[in-house]
């Protein structure tokens, strides 16, 4: 994962994917914009503060790019910053691209699909534990409300070495609604991959899973977690050595803690030496976009994760 060959493969894969994406994007037909919308979305203007329809707006649903319709933000990540524009402390993985602003001071955010100007992103303001504020123009957005009965969703966070492989083993499983890789268990806010790779942030490469408990239970997820990596290895996973590759379950409530401890005890009763730590979850920090669904993008397979039936 860390060698020059992997870096070359990553760059090559992005060039191929990027070329296909560019060809497909040329075929897209975007929504027709009004002159006011063009002034912000195309010409990178800013709507007047406190004037947007989504500033004081708290319905459940997704916020979409007005130009192309790509989902950008979940309502669960929206918060009131009193700044005059809609604020989010997270974006849907891969949906929002950050680029240097034309004035070289701020960081602009655009739709990763069509390049529509959305607003700017700020850090260091401490509005939420994620310490990030996506400041977005309402005029750049459409809103898609949740309809009918809201699907029950829960989350789980696991770490089992390289998060590319951990995600690969869970993604697409029945009942798993969404996955995203990131960093958990450390003391550094908004960590980067380079920082975590040094092994001194306390963070582990982790996977956040959104799942439907009616289709897959937390216990089933925990058992799959143990069945897809070497939980007996201390301080790493396979050839990846360091605390950032440790085996860990980050529980989100007492019920998850109890379940994780019961499954861990079951393994010990079966004669296994279990190195997995069970720790209360803190903030989950999403990793950089190119890490999300890495093997899905590149067509590769894990080098230190494999399924073996235990339970």
Q: If you average pLDDT over every residue of the chain, what do you get? A: 88
Q: Report how far apart, in Å, the C-alpha atoms of 140 and of each of 6, 21, 120, 232 are.
A: 37, 22, 12, 50
Q: Report how far apart, in Å, the C-alpha atoms of 30 and of each of 25, 116, 119, 223 are.
A: 10, 11, 19, 45
Residue 277 CA from chain centroid, whole number: 22
In the predicted model, what is the mean pLDDT of residues 33-59? 92
* pLDDT at residue 19 tops 80: no
pLDDT confidence band for 76 (50 / 70 / 90): confident
Determine contact, residues 168/179, Cβ cutoff 8 Å: no
**Helix, strand, or coil here: 17?**
helix
**Helix, strand, or coil here: 79?**
strand
* Domains of the chain: residue spans and CATH: 22-145 (2.170.150.20), 154-298 (3.30.1060.10)
- Annotation says 304 is catalytic: no
- Annotation says 83 is catalytic: no
In the predicted model, what is the mean pLDDT of residues 206-222? 94
Tokens describing residue 122: 């700020």
Residue 96 CA from chain centroid, whole number: 12
E strand or H helix that includes residue 296: helix 294-298
Measured CA to CA, the distance from residue 276 to residue 161 in angstroms comes to 11
pLDDT per position as a tens digit, 238-297: 999 999 999 999 999 999 999 999 999 999 999 999 999 999 999 999 999 999 989 988
* pLDDT at residue 299 tops 90: no
Query: Which one of the listed residues 65, 83, 114, 162 is annotated catalytic?
Result: 162
Determine which of 81-90, 148-157, 203-212 has the lowest per-residue pLDDT on average: 148-157
Higher-pLDDT residue of 150 and 147 is: 147
Give pTM, 2 decimals: 0.59
User: Position of tokens 């869970």?
Assistant: 170
Percent of the chain with pLDDT over 90: 70
Query: Which one of the listed residues 65, 83, 111, 135 is annotated catalytic?
Result: 135
Total residues found in the chain within this entry: 311
Q: What is the pLDDT of residue 26?
A: 42
């Amino acid at each position: 994962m860390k060698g020059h060959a992997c870096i070359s493969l990553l760059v090559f894969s992005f060039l191929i994917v990027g070329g296909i994406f560019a060809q497909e994007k040329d075929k897209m037909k975007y929504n027709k914009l009004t002159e006011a919308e063009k002034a912000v979305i195309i010409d990178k203007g800013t709507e007047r503060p406190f004037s947007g329809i989504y500033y004081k707006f708290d319905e459940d649903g997704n916020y979409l790019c007005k130009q192309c319709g790509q989902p950008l933000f979940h309502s669960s990540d929206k918060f009131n910053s009193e700044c005059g524009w809609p604020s989010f402390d997270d974006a849907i993985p891969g949906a929002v691209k950050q680029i240097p602003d034309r004035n070289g001071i701020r960081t602009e955010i655009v739709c990763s699909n069509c390049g529509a100007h959305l607003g700017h992103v700020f850090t260091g303001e401490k509005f939420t534990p994620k310490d990030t504020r996506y400041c977005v123009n309402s005029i750049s957005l459409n809103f898609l409300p949740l309809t009918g009965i809201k699907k029950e969703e829960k989350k789980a966070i696991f770490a089992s070495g390289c998060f590319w492989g951990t995600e690969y083993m869970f993604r697409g499983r029945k009942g798993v609604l969404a996955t995203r890789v990131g960093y958990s268990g450390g003391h550094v806010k908004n960590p980067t991959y380079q920082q975590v790779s040094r092994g001194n942030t306390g963070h582990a490469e982790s996977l956040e899973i959104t799942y439907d408990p009616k289709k897959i239970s937390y216990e089933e997820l925990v058992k799959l977690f143990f069945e897809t990596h070497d939980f007996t290895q201390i301080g790493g996973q396979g050839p990846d050595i360091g605390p950032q590759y440790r085996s860990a379950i980050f529980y989100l409530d007492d019920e998850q803690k109890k379940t994780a401890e019961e499954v861990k005890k079951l393994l010990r009763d079966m004669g296994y030496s279990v190195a997995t730590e069970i720790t209360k979850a803190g903030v989950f920090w999403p990793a950089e976009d190119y890490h999300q669904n890495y093997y899905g993008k590149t067509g590769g397979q894990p080098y230190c994760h494999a399924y073996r039936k235990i339970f």
